[in-house]
């Protein structure tokens, strides 16, 4: 998804911008550009399609300037080419703009400008902003941007510079994140704090409807009526090396291997053996309010939705609260009825997913209480929720989500324990629950220690063009997640099903060319899954089973098996997803795919 970086300061502007854009690569992009403003004021724009390295090669050695803005574009309006890449300038090249989001009324605005003689150089929605700022300029860049914002409908995070005001960047936000990085005699602006972490740990987050005026010495935050807003500087505690690869071939591999630690961080300080309960600090709900919760609704997209599906089963089975997960993209337009004593949870790694954010807003508009479960601190969903729980997974850079998924499950365990202990769950059972959770780190370490077994299995399967992923009960969403992971990074067509459903249709696909990945936990549905495996084998379907250690029967039926350690039955979704993450990773590696940046995908999907 698009990314923004802006810089005012004493360093080499081009270098800071390019470095920042590189840090944003993980979000997904198809072209990139920068605009450097020379100390005399002139604006110099360089854009390239493809990787940041293409842009880097095109930027003049030693390009200097008073300030500059940069952008990575993920095409929404207009094809991928240099003219559509940002920054966009006005006709006289006096104003330069980078924009994240979508201007919904751009056609109408464009037609108006064209009628006045403006010639457009791109087919983007964003270019109108540059022309409108130029047209509206009377006495300051800040005033010109503000007047323009009143004309725009849609979402934006923008950064604007002008040859008329060297050394100043104006930023504004509505629906697309923007953060100010505060330094000594230098200031940064970015859509994502990772872009500036190499230079500063002090950040100020803009809210929707806010603007900022930045010079190297100071920043001023304002509302759209020119009133100054005092904002708090927050300290970012993510280490830069946390977002580098640390010797792993890919971020995805690194993030899979980080899971014992990231799960530990999700539990840290939240499990209490004195009370045999879980304590979550940020919910902003009294004990009485929590006890009054009669149903839980989870809203999320993609991998987070799969975590939500499992979470709802856990909440229902462990805490006995009726719970249901729904795709956030569907909730928004369904005109949902908010039942009394319902608690909504918006689950999102990035905290910026438009579908989930808009669903959250719609639910809140209708009076719902919505908690956020996010990884990115200070993200929009985290800030707009009534309360919430952070995942503390650390930055997730690979486009395919792995460690955030297991941290989401971890937080659902905590919520289940918390609610269960407020109701029927005994101290004894609470303690058993806690010790089952505390065994997870070593169980996952054990699985990761045998990653090479999965690599060998992946070698045998990566040439297939289609695969089915089958699971039941709590492992059904794990099958969905396994299929999603495989298709997004290896481009192998994969479908996840409840193992029980195959006889209702998908079994027609099974033959020697379509293998199945089957999840077989040792819960009460195990025997039924074994029957489903036999149905697959009877049709010459090859099987890679993920089963529980010691299950000889599965070994006899399946062509390949990976065993996870024996655990409490509710823990299997967490354990069984790890071999599937590794399986998709190694299949993609075998096929030579760009694992961390799969085609057409973006890390943070900030458009509907
Ligand atoms: C899959 C993946 C996506 C995200 C989805 C929601 O690996 O990463 O399916 O899970 O776009 O993103 P968040 O969790 O940031 O709301």
Query: Is there a single domain that holds both residue 401 and residue 461?
Result: no
2 catalytic residue (yes or no): yes
Report residue 172: phi and psi, to 5°.
Answer: -155, 150
Cα(31) to ligand 1 centroid in Å equals: 22
Instruction: Report the pLDDT value the prediction gives residue 63, as an integer from 0 to 100.
Output: 62
Question: Is residue 603 domain-resident?
Answer: no
Query: Is there a single domain that holds both residue 345 and residue 485?
Result: no
The DSSP bridge partners found for residue 591 are none
Question: Is residue 193 domain-resident?
Answer: yes
Instruction: Report the pLDDT value the prediction gives residue 257, as an integer from 0 to 100.
Output: 96
pLDDT digits (tens, 9 = 90+) for 453-493: 999 999 999 999 999 999 999 999 999 999 999 999 999 99
Question: Is residue 602 domain-resident?
Answer: no
Ligand 1 contact via 353 beta carbon (within 6 Å) = yes
pLDDT digits (tens, 9 = 90+) for 151-185: 999 889 999 999 999 999 999 999 888 999 999 99
What whole-number distance in Å separates Cα of residue 189 and Cα of residue 173?
A: 11
Query: Is there a single domain that holds both residue 426 and residue 378?
Result: yes
Going across the sheet that includes 169-174, the strands are 88-89, 95-100, 156-162, 169-174, 210-214, 219-223
Residues 204, 170: contact at Cβ < 8 Å? no
pLDDT digits (tens, 9 = 90+) for 97-110: 999 988 989 999 99
Query: Is there a single domain that holds both residue 120 and residue 228?
Result: yes
Residues 34, 85: contact at Cβ < 8 Å? no
Can you give the length of the chain in residues? 608
Q: Which of 303, 347, 399, 584 to mutate to test the pocket of ligand 1 (most atoms within 8 A of CB)?
A: 303
Q: pTM for the full model?
A: 0.79
Rg (the chain; Cα; Å): 25
CATH label of the domain that carries residue 430: 3.40.50.10490
Query: Is there a single domain that holds both residue 397 and residue 464?
Result: no
Question: For the chain, percent helix, then strand, then coil, each to nearest 5?
Answer: 40, 25, 40
Query: Is there a single domain that holds both residue 482 and residue 546?
Result: yes
pLDDT digits (tens, 9 = 90+) for 563-572: 999 999 999 9
Question: Is residue 604 domain-resident?
Answer: no
What whole-number distance in Å separates Cα of residue 457 and Cα of residue 461?
A: 7
Tell me which of 196, 211, 236 is where a domain ends.
Answer: 236
Helix (H, G, I), strand (E, B) or coil at 386: coil
Question: Is residue 598 domain-resident?
Answer: no
Cα(348) to ligand 1 centroid in Å equals: 7
Query: Is there a single domain that holds both residue 434 and residue 448?
Result: no
Query: Is there a single domain that holds both residue 225 and residue 205?
Result: yes
Cα(1) to ligand 1 centroid in Å equals: 12
Query: Is there a single domain that holds both residue 274 and residue 307?
Result: yes
Full DSSP string of 300-313: E-HHHHHHHHHHHH
What whole-number distance in Å separates Cα of residue 141 and Cα of residue 148?
A: 10
Query: Is there a single domain that holds both residue 452 and residue 519?
Result: yes
What whole-number distance in Å separates Cα of residue 212 and Cα of residue 329?
A: 31
Instruction: Report the pLDDT value the prediction gives residue 1, as an integer from 0 to 100.
Output: 65
Tell me which of 387, 403, 438 is where a domain ends.
Answer: 438
Tell me which of 169, 203, 236 is where a domain ends.
Answer: 236
Question: Is residue 570 domain-resident?
Answer: yes
Under 8 Å CB-to-CB from 80, ≥6 apart: which residues? 30, 31, 49, 73
The residue whose C-alpha atom lies closest to atom 10 belonging to ligand 1 is 303
Q: Which domain holds residue 455?
A: 444-593
Number of structural domains found in the chain:
3
Ligand 1 contact via 605 beta carbon (within 6 Å) = yes
Query: Is there a single domain that holds both residue 431 and residue 381?
Result: yes
Q: Is the pLDDT of residue 10 over 70?
A: yes
Residues 476, 495: contact at Cβ < 8 Å? no
Query: Is there a single domain that holds both residue 501 and residue 584?
Result: yes
pLDDT digits (tens, 9 = 90+) for 301-360: 999 999 999 999 999 999 999 999 999 999 989 999 999 999 999 999 999 999 999 999
Question: Is residue 606 domain-resident?
Answer: no
Ligand 1 contact via 301 beta carbon (within 6 Å) = yes
% pLDDT > 70, the chain:
98
Question: Is residue 539 domain-resident?
Answer: yes
């Amino acid at each position: 998804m698009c990314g923004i970086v802006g810089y005012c300061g004493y360093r080499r502007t081009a270098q800071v911008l390019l470095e920042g854009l590189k840090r944003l690569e993980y979000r997904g992009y198809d072209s990139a550009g920068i605009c450097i403003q020379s100390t005399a004021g002139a604006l110099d724009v360089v854009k390239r399609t493809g990787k940041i390295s293409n842009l880097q090669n095109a930027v003049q050695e030693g390009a200097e300037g008073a300030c500059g803005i940069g952008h990575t574009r993920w095409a929404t309006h207009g094809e991928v080419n240099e003219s559509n890449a940002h920054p966009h300038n006005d006709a006289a090249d006096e104003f330069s703009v980078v924009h994240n989001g979508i201007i919904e009324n751009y056609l109408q605005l464009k037609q108006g400008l064209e009628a006045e003689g403006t010639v457009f150089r791109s087919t983007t929605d964003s270019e109108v902003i540059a022309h409108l700022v130029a047209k509206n300029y009377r006495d300051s860049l800040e005033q010109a941007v503000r007047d323009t914002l009143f004309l725009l409908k849609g979402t934006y995070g923008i950064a604007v510079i002008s040859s008329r005001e060297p050394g100043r960047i104006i930023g504004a936000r509505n629906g697309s994140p923007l953060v100010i990085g505060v330094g000594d005699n230098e200031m940064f602006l970015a859509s994502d704090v990772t872009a500036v972490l190499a230079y500063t740990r002090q950040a100020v987050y803009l809210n929707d409807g806010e603007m900022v005026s930045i010079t190297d010495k100071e920043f001023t935050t304002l509302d759209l009526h020119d009133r100054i807003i005092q904002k708090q500087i927050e300290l970012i505690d993510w280490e830069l090396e946390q977002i580098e690869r640390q010797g792993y071939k890919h971020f995805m591999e690194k993030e899979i291997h980080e899971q014992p630690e990231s799960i530990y961080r999700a539990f840290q300080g939240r499990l209490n053996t004195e009370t045999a309960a879980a304590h979550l600090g940020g919910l902003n709900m009294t004990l009485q309010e929590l006890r009054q919760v009669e149903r839980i609704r989870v809203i999320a997209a993609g991998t987070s939705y799969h975590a939500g599906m499992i979470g709802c089963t856990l909440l229902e089975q462990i805490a006995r609260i009726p719970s249901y997960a729904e795709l956030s993209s569907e909730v928004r337009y369904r005109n949902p009825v908010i039942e009394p004593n319902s608690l909504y949870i918006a689950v999102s790694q990035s905290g910026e997913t438009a579908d989930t954010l808009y669903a959250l807003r719609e639910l809140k508009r209708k009076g719902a209480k919505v908690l956020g479960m996010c990884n990115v601190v200070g993200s929009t969903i985290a800030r707009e929720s009534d309360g919430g729980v952070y995942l503390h997974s650390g930055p997730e850079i690979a486009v395919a989500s792995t460690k955030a998924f297991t941290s989401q499950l971890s937080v659902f365990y905590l919520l289940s324990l918390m609610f269960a202990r407020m109701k029927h769950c005994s101290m004894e059972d609470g303690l058993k629950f806690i010790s089952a959770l505390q065994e997870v780190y070593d169980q996952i370490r054990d699985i990761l220690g045998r990653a090479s077994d999965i690599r060998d299995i992946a070698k045998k399967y990566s040439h297939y063009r289609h695969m089915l992923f089958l699971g039941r009960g709590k492992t059904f969403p794990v099958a969905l997640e396994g299929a999603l992971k495989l298709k997004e990074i290896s481009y192998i067509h994969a479908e996840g099903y409840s193992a029980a459903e195959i006889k209702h249709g998908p079994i027609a696909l099974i033959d020697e060319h379509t293998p199945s990945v089957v999840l077989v936990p040792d819960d009460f549905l195990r025997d039924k899954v074994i029957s489903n495996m036999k149905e697959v084998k009877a049709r010459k379907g090859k099987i890679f089973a993920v089963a529980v250690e010691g299950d000889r029967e599965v070994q006899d039926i399946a062509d390949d098996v990976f065993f996870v350690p024996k655990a409490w039955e509710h823990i299997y979704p967490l354990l069984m997803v790890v071999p599937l993450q590794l399986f998709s990773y190694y299949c993609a590696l075998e096929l030579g795919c760009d694992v961390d940046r799969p085609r057409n995908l973006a890390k943070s999907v900030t458009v509907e």
